A and B are shown apart, each in its own frame.
Chain A
Amino acid sequence: MNTPLWEVFVRARNGLAHKHVGSVHAADATMALQAARDVYTRRGEALSLWVVPSHAIVASDPADRESLFEPTGSKIYRHPTFYEVPDEVGHM
């Protein structure tokens, strides 16, 4: 079956970012949104939904993993762990 694949993103609450939850097959964007609603929001998970054609996702090559991501391992000074975040800030 050559039904197009769509990636599904759910935003659970105001102030959060849309989060990737999985994918659905659907013939077009309208039906993809309905399929995403029916498959991924059955337990009150969502305030907002995005669907994106899977072919529109540009992914990094697993073979590049070392050169892309390993260099950050030695740079602990980039982590914001040296000061306290006030509770009032909420989600960051």
Chain B
Amino acid sequence: MATTSIALDESPRIRTLLTLADDALILGHRLSEWTGHAPTLEEELALANIALDLIGQARALYQATGIDEDALAYLRDPHQFRNALAVELPNGDFAFTIVRLFLVSAASDAFWRGAVGADDPDIAAIAGKAEKETAYHVRHAADWLVRLGDGTAESHRRAQSALDALWPYTGELTASADRPAWLHAVGPVLQRATLTPPADGWMQSGGRQGRHTEHLGHLLAEMQVLPRTYPGATW
């Protein structure tokens, strides 16, 4: 790597912005990995559209920090990222991707709706746009989830297995929010999908403090290789 990472002095405001932005960027990147691999052309475009919404949200949030957005995306190391562990996990199968999108979007949807009236004018402005985008992400993921869960024995098994695997990662998504409200939002959809939410138990954490799974390093290596190898490259 030809370019060294940036050092950050994180004020509470910058930390909040990075937490939101990193969630959006990393999930957006994961969804973009489906391009060329999605089960149908229609779903490929749907996932790419959602990825672009999320990367757009990330850009707006990075810009609100006053720090160069490209430096924030491309010149930070894994321990400087504040995203929840749930969004950096590999895509797995289509069921895992949809279950993750649903669980994460349900949390972001509640956050952005509440943030429309935020004191920080930047966050309030971004929320005005993001809440409409995220409402669609929830709807799209929920509609798929019902069809996977209440579909064939195979799709049900895969959806339930994804839900079981992801549940311990949802503590981080609701750590600074109202978990009962989130459970109330996801519960009816899981029920329609004939899926059983695991009981809340021990939860994974560490992403907000920069302690990540090994998957984030691999993701960043791919995402950052070009700007780090060819600093200032344009195309």
Contact = CB atoms under 8 A, between A and B. Distances in A.
Interface residues of B, number: 12
Contacts of B139: 34
Contact of B49 (A28, A30, A38): A38
Interface stretch (A19-27, A55-63, A64-72, A76-84): A19-27
State which size class the interface on A falls in. Answer: 10 to 19
Given A27-B147, A30-B143, A38 B40 contact: no
Contacts of A27: 147
Nearest to B139: A34
B147 A24 contact: no
A39 interface: yes
Interface class of chain B by DSSP? helix
A35 B49 contact: no
Given A30-B143, A31-B143, A34-B140, A25 B40 contact: yes
Contacts of A25: 40-42
A42 interface: yes
A33 B235 CA distance: 35
Contacts of A42: 45, 49
Interface of B: 40-43, 45-46, 49, 139-140, 143-144, 147
14 contacts: A25-B41, A26-B42, A27-B147, A30-B143, A31-B144, A34-B140, A35-B42, A35-B43, A35-B46, A38-B42, A38-B45, A38-B46, A39-B41, A42-B45
Interface of A: 3, 24-28, 30-31, 34-35, 38-39, 42
